[in-house]
Amino acid sequence: MEFTVFRVLGQRFRLRTTVTALAAGALLTAGCSSSDESPGEAAGGVPVVEVGKLTTCTHLPYPPFQFERDGKVVGFDVALIDLVAKKLGVEQKVLDTPFENFKTGAFLNSGECDLAAAGMTITDERKKNVDFSVPYFDATQALLVGGKSGVRTLAEVKERKKKLGAQAGTTGESYAKGQGFDPVAFESSDAVLNGLRTGQVDAVVTDYPVVQEWLKDKAVADAFVLGQNIDTGEQYGISVKKGNDKLRAAVDRAIMDARADGTYDKLYEQWIGPLPQGRS
Ligand code: GLN
């Protein structure tokens, strides 16, 4: 696993110049291959965009699925994709990209990344642009409210005309819109939490596992409470470029093997918490 974070198209994109220079160098050495060809091939003939790597597009931070700790990108999704990389005999490299990218599949289509992992829900709309792995995580939506806001449910948020926030382009935002809200849109999960902290909004709708992670922080738990846990029945998937069946099959295999041999449960306990009751 390579830990350097490359941020693409963000304000924070250190090392971008180096990457471009390296890429240009690689093209020259390769004698300019056509843009459609994959530069590399991993075990089992799986195409990869960079020789020896499995390049993951994500959107940071999204704890506990992907976040930076001591300068490294770690988390449940990162650990899961490491399993795929290991089977393919390559190393994972993580790129931080705009969230919008996950819907359009732009960075998969342009050959910037092999796959996207971002605590991302499988939706019919996204399926039009990307192919998804088998589901690897069941999620719900959580309503997090200020402890003293006097509201605990979406109905009360509406009734009392409180301000609601969500992360732009997420299923949480769509859910809120579907309930008749026009939520304040934040660019990332930390901006969502910050919006709540600074009083820009009184409540936010975000994936429950993320809220659960936030609440492990005493300062957050002292100020905010979980108002509602809403069962939207959503499931996370890893996306690949449309038609990249070889890589999709490799991801599916890694997920299914991890579920069968106990690795999945170990990673769940390590990154998320105790396994849900009724499961081993
Ligand atoms: N699961 C949500 C979605 O897919 C949020 C993902 C995220 O913010 N990284 O929209």
Whole-model pTM: value is 0.87
167 lines ligand 1 (CB under 6 A): yes
CA dihedral (140, 185, 199, 203) positive or negative? negative
CA distance 100 to 212: 24
The pLDDT assigned to 277 comes to 78
In the reported structure, the alpha carbon of residue 121 is separated from the centroid of ligand 1 by a whole-number distance in angstroms of 6
| Amino acid letter, residue 135 | P
3-class SS of residue 57 = strand
User: Which pLDDT score is estimated for 135?
Assistant: 98
CA of 34 to the centre of ligand 1 (A): 34
Cα 61 to ligand 1 centroid, rounded to whole Å: 11
* 118 Cβ closer than 6 Å to some ligand 1 atom: yes
Q: How confident is the chain (280 residues) per 10-residue block, as mean pLDDT?
A: 51 38 42 55 93 98 98 97 98 96 95 98 98 98 96 97 97 98 98 97 98 97 98 98 98 98 98 81
Mode of pairing for the β-strands spanning 2-7 and 91-96: parallel
User: Does ligand 1 lie within 6 Å of residue 126's CB atom?
Assistant: no
Q: What single letter denotes the amino acid at residue 42?
A: A
Q: How many C-alpha atoms does 23 have within 13 Å on its Cβ side?
A: 11
Output the pLDDT for position 87.
97
Terminal alpha carbon distance of the chain:
29
Q: What is the pLDDT of residue 16?
A: 37
Phi, psi (rounded to 5 degrees) for 124: -60, -35
Residue from 78, 130, 167 to probe ligand 1 pocket by mutation (most atoms less than 8 Å from CB):
167
Ligand 1 close to Cβ of residue 120 (< 6 A): yes
- Token couple for 197: 């902290």
Place of tokens 């919008």: 100
Backbone φ and ψ for 278, nearest 5 degrees, come out as 90, -10
The CA 41 to ligand 1 mean position distance, Å, reads 30
Ligand 1 within 6 A of CB of 207: yes
Q: What is the DSSP letter of 90?
A: -
Alpha carbons 242 and 127: distance in angstroms, whole number: 9
